Chains A and B, each alone.
Chain A
Amino acid sequence: MAKPNPPFMSGIPELLVLRLLSQREMYGYELVRAIRLTSQETIVLAEGVVYPVLHALEQQGLLRSKERAANGRTRIYYTVTAKGQRRSDTLSQEWERLSSGIRSVFGGTSHA
């Protein structure tokens, strides 16, 4: 029997954040830029909402943060933990499964 879909829409910010931070460590502003850039401006957030996501992921042990001075300001850099990496992989697989299902639906509809 097929697995039920997780509450996926609410997991999109987590997926994006974990995926991008698994490539390199970033601070909030950089991360938002990266989301815009890699999504080719299709995902444009109210930028401040990234922080509760970052803090909650850190609280869950999926991210680690480190303060570092840069350009005269203290930046808080985030990086993915091993647990976060596993979660990122799981979410990515779920996303692939769900999006291929959605593609099939669209494909089916267009051929109907």
Chain B
Amino acid sequence: MHDPQFSELRRHLLRGGVAPKHVKRTIKELRHHFLDLEGKALDEGLPPKDAAAQAAEQLGNQELILEGVLARPELRSWAHRWAWAIYGLGPIVLFILAIVMIFTLMIALVTAAEAIGPGSPNFAYDLAGRWWVRSLAEGWRLFMMYALPTVVAAGVCLFAARREARSLWPIIGVLLVAFLGFWLEFDIQFPEGPEELASFGGGVGFDLSDLLSIRVIRLLLPVIVTLAPYLWWRRLRQEDSLA
């Protein structure tokens, strides 16, 4: 039976590693081609059902089209060709880049605050005494430790979902991010007295005993929030495809 949206073909192309841009374009062109064939058949006086059937036959079996696309290695995505690098190194690089960007932004904010501030040497100390500055700092620390790994893990899952990638790859990517996030620590030191400066920083601390502490929630959070729904969605897609 003809599938006017070519959704099954689309799914198989993505699973075969064809780049999403080629998949999108192939489906668009096939749809338009089908409409042209159908329109021609209707102009020739065929009833709509027969016109659609004739158009589908002329366009060709979807398995044949799938075979034709998969036979072209140049249409495969780089994420398919170098999956180990994309899912193994990509999330870590992305995570580190996000941290660098956030740190850069913070330095820029502090520099701007100092520039537009009253110019007092006690400026940092005065600010540190304010509740909202303390809250912001704690919010930032929690974001870096809990939310950022989850955001990066979600990005990995979305990337894999768009490409219908094998489940193994996002599992690897998310676990790497989760473990890296688990062992990262961030801190802000407020000035203890006038004319002292504030500092903030981060680092990695490996301690296997953390796996048995309450901190393990940091490891589980990206897995539960992103990977579990992703795998569930994949399973539904699989069942849907077999139905």
Residues of A within 8 A of B (CB): 27-29, 32, 45-49, 51-53, 55-56, 59-60, 73-76
Contact = CB atoms under 8 A, between A and B. Distances in A.
Interface of B: 22, 25-26, 28-30, 32-33, 35-37, 58-62, 64-65, 68-69, 71-72, 74-75
Given A29-B32, A46-B60, A46-B61, A51 B75 contact: no
B65 A73 contact: no
Contact of A49 (B28, B32, B68): B68
B65 A49 contact: yes
Given A56-B72, A76-B25, 15 more contacts: A32-B33, A45-B60, A47-B59, A48-B30, A51-B33, A52-B69, A55-B72, A55-B75, A59-B72, A59-B74, A59-B75, A73-B32, A74-B28, A74-B32, A76-B28
Nearest to B33: A29
Contact of B65 (A32, A46, A75): A46
Nearest to A46: B60
A51 B64 CA distance: 12
A52 B32 contact: no
Contacts of B28: 74, 76
